[in-house]
Amino acid sequence: MSNDVEHAKRALRAELRERRQLLSESQRASAASAIARRLDALVDELGARSISCFLSTTTEPGTREFVTGAVRRGIRVLLPITRADGLLDWAVATDDDDEIAEGLYGLPEPTGDVLGPIAVNDVDLMIIPAAAVDRTGMRMGWGRGYFDKTIGSMEKCPPVYAVIYDSEVLDSLPREVHDQPVTGVVTPTQTLNLSQTRR
C-alpha cells in the first residue's frame, strides 16, 4: 500500500514540477506580487508579529517580495535552514539579499545567526512551501519531510498556510501517516481556510 502511495506522489510531483517550469517570467512576477498582498492581509488579519516563511526558488510561487516587505514593517520573520538530520534550523530574515546563500539541496537559505529547531515554537503564523494541497487541508510536499516533521513535533502549532498556485489546490491527494494537514492555502487569487484539525 505505502509503495502505491509513494509512486502516486512521485508521479504527481513530477507533473506539478513540470507545470511550474512552463510559467513565464511575467506570470511568475504577477503571481509573486499577488501572493505578497494576500500574505500581508493574512498577517494583518491574524495580528501576527512573528512568523516563519521560506525563500522561494525560481519555480516556486514567489515569497521574497513578501518577506522583504514584512521585515521592513517590523515583523520578525524566521527562515528555514535545512539540516542533514531532517530537522530545520532557523535564522531571522533581514532585508539584505547578500545574506542569502545556497543551502542543502540547492535551496536559497539565510546566512545569518543560526537558531535551533525550537525557535519556530514562538511564531504566530507559519507560511510553508508545498507541491499541492487538497480540499481537506492535506498537504503534499516535495518528499523530504522537513515541514511534516516540524509541524508534527510542535507542542502548540500556530496556523499553517501553504503557498501554492491556483491549479495546485486539488480535490484529493495520496497520503501517508506522517503527512500533516495545513490550516489553509494562499494562492495568487485566494486565501482558503481548509483544515480545522490543528492540534
CATH code, 15: 3.40.50.10420
What confidence tens digit (pLDDT) does each residue in 52-76 have? 999 998 899 999 999 999 999 999 9
pTM score, whole prediction = 0.91
Domain count, the chain: 1
Give the domain range for residue 9: 2-193
For residue 71, tell me if it sits in a domain: yes
For residue 37, tell me if it sits in a domain: yes
Write the CB contacts of 145 (distance below 8 Å, at least 6 apart in sequence). 86, 178
What confidence tens digit (pLDDT) does each residue in 144-177 have? 889 999 998 888 899 999 999 999 999 988 888 8
